[in-house]
Amino acid sequence: MRISMKKLEEFGAAFLIKRGVPEGNARHVSKVVVETEAFLQSTHGLAQFTALAAALGKTIDPEGEPEIVRGKGAVVLIDGSRCMGNLAVKLAKKEAAEMARAQGIGFVAVRNTHWIGALGPHLISIAEEGLLCQVWAQSSTCKDCAPFGGVDACFSTNPIALAFPGDGHPVVADFSTATMSMSAATALKKKGARTATPRFLDRAGEPSDDPSVLDRGGSMMFMGGDEEGHKGYALALFNEALTVLAGGSANNPDTDLYQSFSLMVLDPEAFAGADYYAKEMRRFLAHVKSSRARPGFGAVRLPGERGFQALEECRVRGVPLDGEKCSMLRKLATDHELDFEELGTIPASGNRVDPVVLRGGGGDG
């Protein structure tokens, strides 16, 4: 089953408005959520609606707006003030890009916000404007990962993302400093699946390929696992340090759950210039893509390449939804007296596009 992006965005906005979110914010957040789903980051896409449904009016203030605490030179500090995470991201992006244009770089640190979902999709519009960027994120109370060499978990899966202008679409990468995100581990657990090599530690600190150890006092290993986990550990520590820089809470079981993140944006014009950048990047990416593919890999891809292909397909054919996602949306609709069936669908196969669904510009909103 496929549903147009436009319809999903409208549904999400309607749900958020019912929960007290002002219309402009509701529309923005819903658009980000749907684009994330379309960009193939489905563990962090529509799932945000469920997380928002649980938190709005409790840990999230529906009318909460991020506040600039202070700014100096090329940096800004933002307090999320219990706002929806995507609103804090929107403000951070605006501030960081403006500073980058004026100062060569902009760095924004944000504390006390709610889940910001997948990091990568947030960066697309920055890189499309010709800027380079990196983001580091952390959550305050999660007990996902143990320090390298340790048994007791005291880290969230602290993700990183980066994006930069490419040849055509930007290059966009987004990953956890743990062996996988907790959402991905939960999805594996539901299927009863195991990983090809150990990515977890059981409660005694022994490597395991079974995600269900997470429910029995186990933990996630850091990126690189048993042999290279010190690298993921180091990267995760830096995310914690940036949270501390921002005045947020580094991992602490005794505090409230908040997310902190930092965003760096760089402007090539302040360095060797956008023209040099475009020309040399084009040459380099062609050089990378000319590498022959390994057996079992169809082609050498750049990070984000499949995401952009999927996003473009979703803009024409709608977003594919499995039974679980449909149930989730139906429940959200019922709970908020919205009509899910009214959304309309595009057949999952066939090239014929439902004209009703494409009304309004192909679902791009």
Binding status of residue 175 toward its own copies by CB under 8 A: yes
Q: Which of 58, 191, 192, 291 binds its own copies (CB under 8 A)?
A: 291
Would you give the binding string for its own copies spanning residues 222-241, x where CB under 8 A is met? Answer: -xxx-xx-xx-xxx-xx-xx
Binding status of residue 102 toward its own copies by CB under 8 A: yes
Q: Toward its own copies, which CB reaches closer, 104 or 320?
A: 104
Quote the least distance from Cβ 148 to its own copies, whole Å.
8
Long-range contacts made by residues 228-233, C-beta under 8 angstroms, separation at least 24?
A: 229/148, 230/148, 232/145, 232/148, 232/177, 232/178, 232/179, 233/145, 233/147, 233/148, 233/177
d(CA 255, CA 238): 20
d(CA 189, CA 180): 13
Binding status of residue 184 toward its own copies by CB under 8 A: no
Could you tell me the two tokens for 333? 């609709």
Q: Which positions from 296 through 355 interact with its own copies, judged by CB under 8 A?
A: 297, 299-303
Secondary structure (3-state) at 48: helix
Q: Which of 132, 184, 319, 321 binds its own copies (CB under 8 A)?
A: 132
The distance in angstroms from the start CA to the end CA of the chain is 20
Quote the least distance from Cβ 194 to its own copies, whole Å.
13
CA distances from 81 to 65, 69, 240 (A): 7, 10, 19
Q: Toward its own copies, which CB reaches closer, 53 or 237?
A: 237
Quote the least distance from Cβ 257 to its own copies, whole Å.
16
Binding status of residue 97 toward its own copies by CB under 8 A: no
Binding status of residue 270 toward its own copies by CB under 8 A: yes
Binding status of residue 130 toward its own copies by CB under 8 A: no
- Angle in degrees, CA 259, 264, 266, rounded to 5: 160
CB atoms near residue 36 (< 10 Å)? 27
Quote the least distance from Cβ 27 to its own copies, whole Å.
31
Q: Which positions from 52 through 81 interact with its own copies, judged by CB under 8 A?
A: 70, 72-75, 77
Q: Toward its own copies, which CB reaches closer, 11 or 136?
A: 136
CB neighbour class for 190 (10 Å; exposed up to 12, middle 13-18, buried from 19): exposed
Binding status of residue 15 toward its own copies by CB under 8 A: no
CB neighbour class for 150 (10 Å; exposed up to 12, middle 13-18, buried from 19): middle
Q: Which of 68, 204, 348, 356 binds its own copies (CB under 8 A)?
A: 204
Binding status of residue 206 toward its own copies by CB under 8 A: yes
CA 33 to chain centre: 9
Q: Toward its own copies, which CB reaches closer, 37 or 202?
A: 202
Q: Toward its own copies, which CB reaches closer, 17 or 187?
A: 187
Binding status of residue 162 toward its own copies by CB under 8 A: yes
Q: Which of 1, 281, 326, 328 binds its own copies (CB under 8 A)?
A: 281
Give bridge partners of residue 60 from the DSSP assignment: 56
Q: b/e per residue, 267-294, with b = 16+ CB within 10 A?
A: bbeeeeeeeebeeebeeeeeeeeeeeee
Q: Which range touches its own copies (CB under 8 A), out of 29-37, 268-276, 335-343, 351-359?
A: 268-276
Quote the least distance from Cβ 54 to its own copies, whole Å.
27
Q: Which positions from 243 through 262 interact with its own copies, judged by CB under 8 A?
A: 244-247, 249-252
Q: Toward its own copies, which CB reaches closer, 42 or 179?
A: 179
Binding status of residue 118 toward its own copies by CB under 8 A: no
> Cβ distance 252 to 243 under 8 Å?
no
Under DSSP, the state recorded for 172 is: E
- The helix-helix angle for 323-335 and 47-55 (nearest 10°) equals 30
